[in-house]
Amino acid sequence: MPMYTAYHLTIDSELPLPELPTTDSAAADITIRLGQPPDHLDAPTYTGLLHESAPGHLLYSVPSVLRLLARAGNEILVEPQPGSDPDSVRAFVLTAGLAAIMHQRGRMALRGSAVAIDGQAVIFTGISGAGKSTLAAALYRRGYRLLADDFVVIDLDADGQPVVTPGYPVLKVWKYALLQLGYDQDSIAALTPVRPALQKYMLPAERGFSPAPAPVRGIYALQSAVDREGPRVPLPALNMLQILNWHFYYRRFAIDLGAVARCWPITTALTDHAASYRLWWRWRDFNAETLADLVVADGLGAAGEREHS
């Protein structure tokens, strides 16, 4: 059974995880096992429609797909539901399951994507559908290196500087966005859907993936508007704090597991050390290449730089 790696953690999984690179490391930081989670947690501190939480434990259900238990920051117990497909099960393990583990470990998991420009991380955050993965894919197509997609893990280095710890080499991009980026129908048909019947595809990024942590240089909060002019607006620190707190990945998990409070030093370090902007785009007129031009022109990387081809 292969060992996998993501976010600088070694993962021992009974569930195949083909998106993740393999590693020769023999010691696992996280184990993923197939089994039956409990129906309920003992003495939960929060009970919602789809999840329960208690200190160090999170129980999560996706009807007709899976039930999973994440506990102690090092174990995920997964029960696929009858008739579920492996792609959907895996998708939720790599998103909700890993997010819960990161929150339990006290690591900041931010909804978004990140690329490395001149060896430094630029993060894109925003609500679902804001264009984070598409903008990262546009920059990846230009030769900049991918650090993470879906969610970005941010840690503090020995000097207290915020760094992005790389995830794994896959971008998840909607079909219409791939077409806008210049992929033809045949190229898209050759890609694997994130889930069956979902027109969102996994775009492999092995040749341009950066495995090394990168200091955070800039953060862009993407947002659409009906008639907004002036696409790029610097954000005051207080506004950026609010945005960062709002965009913890699986935010309800982060609140329940105490991650928002524990990650406060990382949140404040980001506002101290990273340039932050609101990046507007006109509703129904999203153009990833135009936004990529703005990012590159911002001084967060020179237009001529290329890190892979």
pLDDT score of 197? 83
Residues of the chain with CATH 3.40.50: 109-297
The pairing of strands 57-62 and 75-80 is: unpaired
Q: 171 - beta bridge partners?
A: 203
pLDDT score of 173? 96
Rounded to the nearest 10°, the torsion over CA 256, 115, 177, 88 is -40
pLDDT score of 147? 98
| Contact residues for 78 (Cβ-Cβ < 8 A; gap 6+) | 15, 32, 33, 34, 35, 66, 67, 68, 89, 93, 97
User: DSSP labels for 53-94?
Assistant: EETTEEEEEETTTEEEEEETTTEEEEEEPTT--HHHHHHHII
The pairing of strands 57-62 and 66-71 is: antiparallel
300 pLDDT band, cuts 50/70/90, is low
Range in 59-73, 224-238, 269-283 with the lowest mean pLDDT:
224-238
For the segment 172-208, what is each residue's pLDDT rounded down to a tens digit? 999 999 999 999 999 999 999 999 989 999 999 999 9
pLDDT score of 228? 55
pLDDT score of 138? 95
Residue the block writes with tokens 């210049």: 182
- The tokens describing 236, both together, are 């005051």
pTM of the predicted structure, to 2 decimals: 0.93
Residue 252 confidence (pLDDT) above 80 = yes
Q: % helix / strand / coil in the chain, to the nearest 5?
A: 25, 35, 40
Q: 112 - beta bridge partners?
A: 125
224 pLDDT band, cuts 50/70/90, is confident
* Domain 109-297 class in CATH: alpha beta
The one-character DSSP state at 97 is I
Q: Residue 26 burial (CB < 10 Å; 0-12/13-18/19+)?
A: exposed
Please state, in angstroms and rounded to a whole number, the distance separating the CA atoms of residues 124 and 134: 10
